[in-house]
A = this chain, B = another copy of it.
Amino acid sequence: EGRFVLVAGPCVLESLPLALEVASEVKGICDELGLRYIFKSSFDKANRTSIYSFRGPGLEVGLRWLGEVKSTVGVPVLTDIHEPAQAAPVAEVADVLQIPAFLCRQTDLLVSAAKTGKPLNIKKAQFVSPYDMRFVLEKAKEAGNDQVILCERGTTFGYKQLIVDFRSIPIMRSFGCPVMFDATHSVQMPGGLGGASGGDRKFVAPLARAAVSIGIDALFMEVHPNPDEAKSDGPNMIALSDLKGLLAQLIALDDLVKSELGYVDIEEVLPR
């Protein structure tokens, strides 16, 4: 209940100072605006288009930095895992474990993450329909974890294009779990730059408005002080300096939805 939670941070842990800067600046904005905030950043980009791309500091260093962000800035942190063996060590630091979209059907990864008892953010794969996320959710529940949020981040649409099917928000909420919208990966253009994924950050605002107006529980956005020089996902991240204005608009919409309109609720969508 209440306003959407913001999950935000730089795509990858480029450095500890960058992580601290983003976390504290976003925390300041959220405190001022009255939003709950979870810091997000990846210790490893395990599936970059090209082998020559920057991958991050790795598990050990990454967790140390995330721990530093938690204690210094005083925010919960979320990060993603790529192999079952990473679940337990990551759960010692992270407050929320994220399952990457490409990996959302990997049973062992889901089960090992679920078994940590930590809340999970599971991204809908670009190749999975929202209807079939029910089975992904069930894998986590069957492993004993009910604290799952499902996240929309776009669907394969031809080559080098994603499209967001906003029907997915009420569909996935009908399974009885909260839903997050990832507004920055949804504007990616996979492989669109030749050897790297492109993106178009000017569509972050309209898509985020659309999601909030339907009713979401959490909003995910990657932010960076200087997206055009970021080491990953630059074309779709938004600039830290644009965050506050965008959030203020989304909060106005969210307040209207949460106080007057309500979530768009549909009957539970059954398997078919």
A33 located at the interface, meaning its Cβ lies under 8 Å from any Cβ of chain B in the complex: no
Whether B195 pairs with A156 at a CB distance below 8 angstroms is no
* Segment with Cβ contacts to B, from A21-29, A35-43, A234-242, A264-272: A264-272
Neighbour of A135 across the interface among B49, B143, B161, CB < 8 A: B49
| A166 and B164 contacting across the interface, CB-CB below 8 Å | yes
Taking a contact as CB atoms under 8 Å apart, the answer to whether A160 and B50 are in contact is no
Q: Chain B nearest CB: distance from A247 CB in Å? A: 12
**A243 to chain B: closest CB distance in Å?**
16
Q: How far is the CB of A108 from chain B (nearest CB, A)?
A: 6
A191 with B83, Cβ < 8 A, contacts A202-B266, A206-B169 known: no
Query: Are A190 and B256 touching (Cβ within 8 A)?
Result: no
Which of A166, A202, A210 is most buried by chain B, counting CB atoms within 10 A of its CB? A210
Please indicate the chain B residues that have their CB under 8 angstroms from the CB of A48 in the complex. 105, 107
* Complex Cα spacing A103 to B46, Å: 10
A/B interface sample: 29 pairs, CB < 8 A: A46-B107, A49-B135, A50-B138, A51-B107, A51-B135, A102-B105, A102-B106, A127-B127, A127-B156, A128-B191, A132-B190, A135-B191, A157-B163, A157-B165, A158-B158, A158-B159, A158-B160, A163-B163, A164-B165, A166-B207, A170-B203, A195-B271, A203-B266, A209-B214, A210-B210, A210-B214, A249-B261, A252-B261, A253-B256
Instruction: Give me the 9 closest cross-chain CB pairs, A-B, nearest first.
Output: A158-B158, A210-B210, A213-B213, A194-B271, A129-B159, A132-B191, A47-B105, A156-B156, A51-B139
B-contacting residues of A (Cβ < 8 Å)?
46-52, 55, 82-85, 102-103, 105-108, 111, 125-129, 131-132, 135, 138-139, 142-143, 155-161, 163-167, 169-170, 190-191, 194-195, 202-203, 205-207, 209-214, 249, 252-253, 256, 260-261, 264, 266-267, 271-272
